[in-house]
Amino acid sequence: MLSTSAKDSPRVLVIVGPTCSGKTAVSIRLAEGLNGEIVSADSRQVYKHLDIGTAKPALELRKAIKHYFVDELLPDEDFNAGTFGERGREVIAGILRRNKLPIVVGGSGLYVQSLIDGFFEGPGADEEFREAMEAHIKAGRIEVLLNELRKVDPLSAARIDPTKPRRIVRALEVYHLTGQALSSLHREKKVEISFHPLLFGLAWRREVLYRRIETRCEQMLASGLLAEVERLESMGYDDSLNALNTVGYAEAFSYRRGEISYEEFVRLFKQNSRRYAKRQLTWFRRDKRIEWIEMNEEESTEDAVHEIKGKYHQNISR
């Protein structure tokens, strides 16, 4: 990762963790107590009409505390980590100018990295190349694409989640357009970071976290996740869009097309949610700057908020 700003730069709180770890509740209470505004680092909450399946903060909370990158785009609009990083740094600068505390909160590790470290996103899209790659994906030839990437950019091939084929395509596209590996371009481009991030992660025992995830999945179903997906369909959206090709929505669309039973839909929804949380933890555990707050069923949101506020005040008083 690229180095961040000097220790005397303005502080920015960054709250991370897997899905269902309580990030929203903690960030709201921190914003209330520290005169803060929230910068959402969530790759799906930025989209309108995706409410239940993204566990978007309630509208009344967003009215009480200013949120950025929530409900800003339609599901078929392009958005990526590089764009988020650039725009997010502009938002943070504006928050600091108003003498408020920026609080970054989210579970999308790549978005957090782009914001606080910066990375080179590469050239624009080559639609003809992407169409050819999409044909490989639809034919189930993802391993073929991954093997090709291993030849030209082994570093990116090792880092990319093979269940995210469009990230494989993007790395191949960058090489196709520039003749250089995406991983090497990331190292070449330096981004000036004008703030100092203080990173905190919310950590649960795995069995407790998985129980919380299953409970949330059931709550989403009871709250009308399938009705939300039906409304999205009526607006012309489906899981061919990147915004909707994600846990919860992808399984729901598959069920509505009759590809799986309701029981299988629920099973996959819970299983893939647990797997997503595991991937998030793997990503965040690599960042040694994160100070982990141990959560448990007795540890209240207020306890976590009190601990983070104390560490924040200690840091700014040094």
Contact call for residues 23 and 17 (beta carbons, < 8 A): yes
Mean pLDDT for the chain?
Answer: 91
155 Cβ contact partners less than 8 Å away, ≥ 6 residues apart: 181, 183, 184
The pairing of beta strand 36-40 with beta strand 101-106 = parallel
Q: How far apart are CA 250 and CA 273, in angstroms?
A: 12
Mean pLDDT of 21-48: 97
Chain-centroid distance, C-alpha 249: 16
Place of tokens 């930025």: 46
Contact call for residues 13 and 312 (beta carbons, < 8 A): yes
Q: Summarize pLDDT for 111-128 with one digit per residue, the tens.
A: 998 899 886 656 667 777
Q: Summarize pLDDT for 280-311 with one digit per residue, the tens.
A: 999 999 999 999 999 987 668 999 999 999 99
Better pLDDT: 74 or 318? 74
pLDDT value at 63 more than 80? yes
Q: What is the pLDDT of residue 3?
A: 40
Domains (range + CATH), the chain:
11-119+196-316 (3.40.50.300), 127-185 (1.10.20.140)
- Residue 5 pLDDT class (50, 70, 90 cuts): very low
Q: What is the pLDDT of residue 270?
A: 98
pLDDT value at 159 more than 90? no
Q: Which residue, among 290, 211, 247, has the nearest Cα to 54 in the 3D structure?
A: 247
pLDDT value at 7 more than 70? no
Percent of the chain exceeding pLDDT 90 equals 72
First to last CA, the chain: 25
Beta-carbon neighbour count of residue 40 at 10 Å? 29
pLDDT value at 169 more than 80? yes
274 Cβ contact partners less than 8 Å away, ≥ 6 residues apart: 210, 213, 214
Q: What is the pLDDT of residue 244?
A: 96
Mean pLDDT of 97-108: 97
Q: What is the pLDDT of residue 262?
A: 98
pLDDT value at 54 more than 60? yes
The amino acid that residue 137 corresponds to is I
What token pair was written down for 174?
């960058």
Instruction: Write down the pTM of the prediction.
Output: 0.81
Place of tokens 């078929």: 76
**Phi–psi pair at 62, nearest 5 degrees:** -70, -25
In order of 90, 92, 94, 101, 102, the CA distances from 97 in angstroms are 11, 9, 5, 10, 11
Q: Summarize pLDDT for 171-210 with one digit per residue, the tens.
A: 998 888 778 788 877 666 667 899 999 999 999 999 999 9
